[in-house]
Structure 1
Amino acid sequence: MSIHEIITPRPQLPVYFDIYRTYNQLIPNHWHNHVEVLYIFEGTNHIVLNDKKYTLHQNDLFVVNSGDIHFTRSLGASRVLLLQIPYELFDQCVVNFDMIRFRQYYPHKTLKEDPVYQKMIAHLLNLARLYVQAEKGYQFLFISELYQFLHILCGNYSIMKDPAKESKSAKHLDRLKKIIHYVEQHYQEPITLEQVASLVALNPEYFCRFFKKHMGLTFMKYVNLVRLARIHNDILQTDDSITIIQERHGFTNYKLFNHMFKEAYGCTPSKLRAKHIRHK
């Protein structure tokens, strides 16, 4: 998955929709133009967005607004509903959508008695049922349920952006997105603070403070998390040796790699692969 996700809708559907299982998955800070909806069927997930940390449990809902930089990880085994709605779909249907944001966090514990919220969730779960059953012509019913879900979301859980705050944060976001894009393109190579700081016209010392403040971690730790996410994927999806995978994705210090991998995923690379093979 690229750090700036480019989402392609499924055939015959105007959105990307999936129900997936994951184990200790980590997706470093990334962004996309789509609005992203996550609903937790099973497990626990952490999301870091705009300097705030959220812990999602079973039946919790989370909405990531277009352009927001966010980090996600699952703790152990999770089953998650993922709905990604193209920005263009909102823009066609909602006047001045560029000035609207959605509420982000919807904890089941505090909203389980809210009839409006429960009606919205019922439409979302109907999407899952229709998608899994995939009966002939299901796309018509799917689109109907989708628009009812979005109607409640827009009508009840959207707010107008503050133009002054948006203007102030836009410059920071542009810089961060430029950095993220650069790392995505060059993470397999050695990357220095001086290189990236000059890319966004900052001196290295100020760049370090700027990055840590807005991303919640140091720049070099972020680069290594990007590498680890690619390595994690290759361990599960290929038969290549751990050493080859590690070197392919820019890790030359094996001791540091092993330490960071175990810290991120709770086990060694070889144990992760063995566990994956057992559960196939």
Structure 2
Amino acid sequence: MCIIFWASPNSERIVLQFDLNVFQEFSLTEDEGKRLRDLFLHVSPSSADWNPDVARLVAGLLQVIHRESSQRKAGYRYVVKAKLYEMLAVLDRDVPRLVRDSAEDATSKSQETLEKLQQIFAYVEDHYQETITLQQVADHVGFSSYYFTKLFKRNMGITFMTFVNDYRLSKAKWILLNEETPVTEVAELAGFSSVKTFHHAFKRAMGVSPLKYRRTIFGNK
């Protein structure tokens, strides 16, 4: 399931991936398991279709999950799971389902799309430090570049190369906050082709240089 929140061009874009195995901790009945699968396959993915109050609530829960996962303070796993389950309840109760002419066909297509997106995410995770082109990944998942472009934008709300850039920036921010690696090396570790490209992309996304970003967190160390 992909949930898309439309925002202004200057907003920070956050992509969160959840392992569905987390829900195996529940002893679900057959009916509950079916309802959960139906939720992930048929919930309307765009917050533009939701009640505004519900959209704000889910966005707030996602922000807490992202903050706790990034800061990793004591007990953060409990908070993440609690907020994830709360979000699941909100989605189940208050978010509209997609209406399909054929539920069976819709389920099949949704599952196929989810699997393809997971393949794409895994490819980026494995190769983000290398040169990645749209054609490479399209070939990897067996799509033409045209269809791949349309599918990714329709489901994620952004272009594939924007996603790759955002992923590399998230890696760079993690390194800046958790390691003492020189900024010049952070660019290479995060997969940017040059230090200049890294500085430009980082400042455009965060409003400050990588070094200043690190100093705002830790002071002038």
Pair in the same fold by TM > 0.5? yes
Q: Which residue of 2 aligns with 1:33?
A: 20
Shift of 1:91: 4.7
2:20 corresponds to which letter in structure 1?
N
Q: TM-score, normalised by structure 2?
A: 0.62
Q: Is the 8 A contact 1:187 1:223 kept in 2?
A: yes
**C-alpha distance in structure 1 between counterparts of 2:175 and 2:14, whole Å:** 14
1:221 to 2:158 alignment: no
Q: Is the 8 A contact 1:179 1:196 kept in 2?
A: yes
Q: Is the 8 A contact 2:176 2:214 kept in 1?
A: yes
Q: Which residue of 1 aligns with 2:173?
A: 232
**C-alpha distance in structure 1 between counterparts of 2:166 and 2:188, whole Å:** 14
Return the match for 1:95 from 31, 36, 39: 31
Q: Is the 8 A contact 2:116 2:141 kept in 1?
A: yes
Identify the structure with the greater helix proportion: 2
Task: Give structure 1 stretches of 5+ with no counterpart.
Answer: 1-23, 35-85, 112-131, 140-145
Q: TM-score, normalised by structure 1?
A: 0.50
**C-alpha distance in structure 1 between counterparts of 2:205 and 2:18, whole Å:** 21
Identify the structure with the greater strand proportion: 1
Shift of 1:107: 6.8
Q: Who wins on radius of gyration, i.e. which is larger? A: 1
1:210 to 2:146 alignment: no
Task: Give structure 2 stretches of 5+ with no counterpart.
Answer: 1-10, 57-72
**Quick one: percent identity of the two aligned structures?**
31
Return the match for 1:188 from 129, 133, 139: 129
**C-alpha distance in structure 2 between counterparts of 1:193 and 1:25, whole Å:** 22
Shift of 1:108: 6.3
What is the number of equivalent residue pairs in this alignment? 171
Q: Which residue of 1 aligns with 2:69?
A: none
Root mean square deviation, CA, Å: 3.9
Determine which structure has greater relative contact order: mean sequence separation of CA pairs < 8 Å that are 6+ residues apart, divided by chain length. 2
